[in-house]
Structure formats: C-alpha cells, structure tokens
C-alpha cells in the first residue's frame, strides 16, 4: 500500500498520455542500483535509498522511472518507435518535502527525427500541465548538451578536460571552478625527481622498469595493484591535463557562450553569430539546434515563452542533447523536466542504437501549484462585490 495518496488530478494526466499514443507501463519499486549509480549523476546518487539482497547485490528504491522503463523496453524486445507513459511513486532523500512522492512521465523511444521528437515532447509536457493547471502561464527553459559539447570540442582542449567540462554542464559552481583553473596551468607537483626526469624524457620503458623495481622493493606489486604500465599512462594523462590551459581568446569565447540567455525566437541567430565571431566550427550542432527550433515553431509553440540558456543543464549524467524544465511563469518550482538521452539504451544493453527523449512531472509540486491557485481564487472571491438582484437599488 502506498504511504501517500495519489493526487486527484492523476487520471487527467493519464488521459492526456493515452491521447498521445502511449503504452502505460509500471516497473518494480525495488530496482538494481548499478544503472542509477553509473548513469544518474552525482546529485541523484546522493539521494538514492540503497540496500542489498541476500547475495550482496546492491538494490535501491526506485528513484526515477526513465532507467527502469528503458530496461523494461530492452527486456521485452519491443520494437521502435515506441512511446511509454508511467505514473507511480519514486523515492529520494530530499532536503524539503516527503522522501516518497509521485511522478508521471513519458518516454519517446526510437524516433529518428530528433528535432520533431524534441518538439513533440515539449508540446506534450505543456499540454499535460494545461490540463491540470488551466489558465496558468508557463515558462520553458531549454539547454543543449550537444551544443555545449561541440563548443568544448572546438576549443581544442585535451579529451580529459573535455570530459570534465561536459560532466559539469549545468552545475554553475563546478563549471566556474574548472574555467578558472583553465586560465592558468598547474604542473603536477610531488613526483620523485627520477620519475620527473623519465617523464620529461618520454622514456616509458625505463619509467615502467623503475616503477616495477620500486613496487617490488616496497611490496606493492600484487595482482590487486595497478601495473607499472597503467601507472605511467595515468601519470602522462595527469601531466597533460595539469599543463593544459586555454588562451585568453578561447577562454573569453567559452565564457561568452555560457552567458547566452535569450528568447528562443532569437536563439538561432545568436548561436550563429557566436560561432562566427569565435571562429568555431559548429555547423552540425547549429543545424540540429535550428531544426528543433523550426519543429517547435511548426508545432505551434510560442517561441517567446521559451528561453534558451546556453549554460542550462539538468543534474542527470545521461542527457545528450535537449534538456528542458517548465515552471509557472514568475515562480521557481520546476513542475516538469526532461531531455534527450540517445546513449542510454545502448549502455543498458540494447543491441541497436535507440534515440530517446522524455520528461517527468513532479505531481507534489503540481498539487502545490493547484492549491496556491485555488487559494488565490478564494481570496479574490472574498473581496468580490455582492451581485445585485434584479430591482435591487442598493
């Protein structure tokens, strides 16, 4: 039995999902923990309720639905394209509110028209909100992981730094710290002089031999330890990363990109102008971005109600392209969040590449927004003039 009641507007959301050619699915509350720990991101990993079975395998209470729905799709060998809908409880350690709450959502798998699927999923999210919060005005914020990755790659950083920046996308403090570090190289310190000399000479064979001798002397050369070859590889990578920096022009370009915050109706021109002024080869990323904007416009979306923030990301590691959130205009609670996660199904074991995009709805926040709206209407009613009866001369 659930410990919390399902919101009374849940059937209306399910009806909206049904009208959108979805198959409703449920997944077990107890899930294998490994996929979430590997793919969900640091923020969610800290909030998961973990346990073990009698064989010592790590399990968790379901913290979200996207990964379980994708696993179910792979296990049932269902063809694509396929649209799934869900509504059920999730469990997270939260700073505010209950640790058990309801989420509803939609996962759109296998549509190769990425721009069209992105536009459709945003339109579906807004339609569901319109159903349960009629008359409210919504603000949509979008970001694009793929565009950010393309900018970082075009700047010519070592692969290790590119990975660090991509992992930090959407985490303002972490991203700012990495950018500050890239303004100045910091050589690796604390290495023994003989190791420094061999690294500087690029003599990997002699360095491996030296490390093996030291590991044998100290008793650390065991089957469980890293091999000298692995240690040399890591030392060289660390040295390369430590010595990497961005010149002032590229650093300014990265900062300029991350400062972009514009209405989506202006975004294509702003992105093209940025690429041109920074002399960065972003043609493929721009084409994908522009195609999504065109698809949204063709779907009837009000581009003026959508904001593109170049630095906007969501705290889940599996996103690969579009990310978005929806709030009531002028308010802060995120009611819907989602995005594109094209690599996930392959990582979870799918034999073929399956593009995917979806969104989740926080029903407790939507319920709070409904209650607030009802309270405002009640307050307005208290001050409404008493209607006069026919012939009343007061």
Residues 80 and 148 in one domain: no
66-104 residue pLDDT tens = 999 999 999 998 888 999 999 999 999 876 778 999 999
Residues 9 and 89 in one domain: yes
Give residue for tokens 């002028």: 330
Residues 312 and 283 in one domain: yes
Residues 172 and 65 in one domain: no
- Write out the residue range of the structural domain in which residue 352 sits: 1-137+337-383
Residues 63 and 119 in one domain: yes
CA distances from 116 to 9, 264, 295, 296, 329 (A): 28, 16, 6, 8, 25
Residue 369 lies inside a defined structural domain of this protein: yes
Rounded to an integer, what distance in angstroms lies between the CA atom of residue 133 and that of residue 170? 28
Element (H, E) at 234: helix 228-243
Q: What pLDDT, on the 0 to 100 scale, is given for residue 182?
A: 80
Which among 243, 258, 285 is the end of a domain?
243
Per-residue pLDDT of the chain in tens (394 residues, 90 and over written 9): 456 789 999 999 999 999 999 999 999 999 999 999 888 877 788 889 999 888 888 999 999 999 999 999 999 988 889 999 999 999 998 767 789 999 999 999 999 999 999 999 999 999 999 999 999 999 999 999 999 999 999 998 778 788 888 888 988 888 888 888 887 766 655 668 887 777 777 888 888 888 888 888 877 765 556 788 888 777 766 665 565 567 788 889 999 999 999 999 999 999 999 999 999 999 999 999 999 999 999 999 999 999 999 999 987 888 999 999 999 999 999 999 999 999 999 999 999 999 999 999 999 999 999 998 777 766 655 444 433 333 332 2
Q: Provide the Cα torsion 360, 361, 362, 368; round to 10°.
A: 170
Residues 173 and 288 in one domain: yes
Residues 118 and 265 in one domain: no
Residues 73 and 110 in one domain: yes
Q: Say if CB 263 and CB 303 are below 8 A apart.
A: yes
Domain at 346, CATH number: 3.30.930.10
Q: What pLDDT, on the 0 to 100 scale, is given for residue 3?
A: 60
Residues 133 and 258 in one domain: no
* CB-based burial, 301-318: b 16+ in 10 Å, e otherwise: bebebbbbbbbbbbebbb
Residues 354 and 224 in one domain: no
Residue 186 lies inside a defined structural domain of this protein: no
Residues 217 and 282 in one domain: no
Residue 229 lies inside a defined structural domain of this protein: yes
Residues 237 and 251 in one domain: no
Q: What pLDDT, on the 0 to 100 scale, is given for residue 7?
A: 92
229: left (phi over 0), alpha (psi -120 to 50) or beta: alpha
Q: Maximum Cα–Cα distance for the chain, whole Å?
A: 107
Rounded to an integer, what distance in angstroms lies between the CA atom of residue 9 and that of residue 135? 16
Count: domains in the chain: 3
Residue 307 lies inside a defined structural domain of this protein: yes
DSSP 303-342: GGGEEEETT---S-TT--SEEEEEEETT-----EEEEE-T
């Amino acid at each position: 039995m659930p410990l919390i009641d399902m919101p009374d507007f849940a059937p209306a959301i399910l009806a909206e999902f049904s009208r959108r050619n979805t198959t409703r699915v449920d997944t077990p509350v107890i899930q294998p923990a490994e996929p979430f720990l590997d793919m969900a991101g640091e923020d969610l990993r800290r909030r998961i309720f973990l346990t073990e079975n009698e064989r010592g395998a790590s399990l968790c209470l379901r913290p979200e639905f996207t990964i379980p729905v994708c696993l179910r799709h792979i296990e049932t060998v269902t063809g694509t394209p396929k649209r799934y809908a869900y509504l059920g409880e999730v469990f997270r350690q939260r700073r505010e509110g209950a640790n058990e709450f309801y989420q509803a959502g939609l996962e759109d798998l296998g549509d190769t028209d990425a721009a069209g699927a992105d536009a459709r999923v945003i339109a579906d999210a807004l339609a569901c909100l319109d159903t349960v919060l009629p008359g409210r005005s919504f603000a949509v914020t979008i970001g694009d992981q793929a565009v950010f990755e393309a900018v970082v790659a075009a700047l010519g950083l070592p692969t290790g730094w590119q990975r660090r920046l991509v992992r930090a996308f959407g985490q303002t403090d972490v991203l700012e710290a990495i950018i500050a570090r890239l303004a100045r190289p910091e050589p690796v310190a604390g290495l023994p002089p003989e190791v420094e000399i061999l690294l500087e000479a690029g003599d990997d064979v002699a360095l491996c031999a030296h490390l093996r001798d030291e590991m044998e002397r100290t008793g650390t050369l065991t089957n469980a330890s890293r091999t000298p070859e692995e240690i040399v590889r890591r030392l060289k990578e660390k040295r390369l990363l430590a010595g990497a920096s961005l010149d002032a022009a590229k650093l300014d370009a990265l900062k300029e990109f991350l400062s972009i915050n514009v209405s989506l109706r202006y975004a294509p021109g702003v992105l093209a102008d940025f690429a041109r002024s920074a002399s960065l080869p972003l043609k493929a990323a721009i084409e994908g971005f522009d195609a999504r904007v065109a698809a949204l416009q063709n779907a009837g979306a009000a581009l003026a109600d959508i904001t593109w923030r170049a630095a906007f990301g969501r705290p889940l590691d599996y996103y690969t392209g579009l990310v978005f959130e929806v709030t009531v205009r002028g308010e802060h609670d995120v009611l819907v969040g989602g995005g594109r996660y094209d690599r996930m199904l392959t990582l979870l074991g799918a034999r073929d590449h399956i593009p995917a995009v979806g969104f989740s709805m926080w029903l407790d926040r939507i319920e709070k927004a409904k209650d607030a709206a009802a309270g405002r209407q009640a307050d307005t009613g208290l001050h409404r003039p008493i209607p006069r009866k026919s012939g009343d001369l007061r």
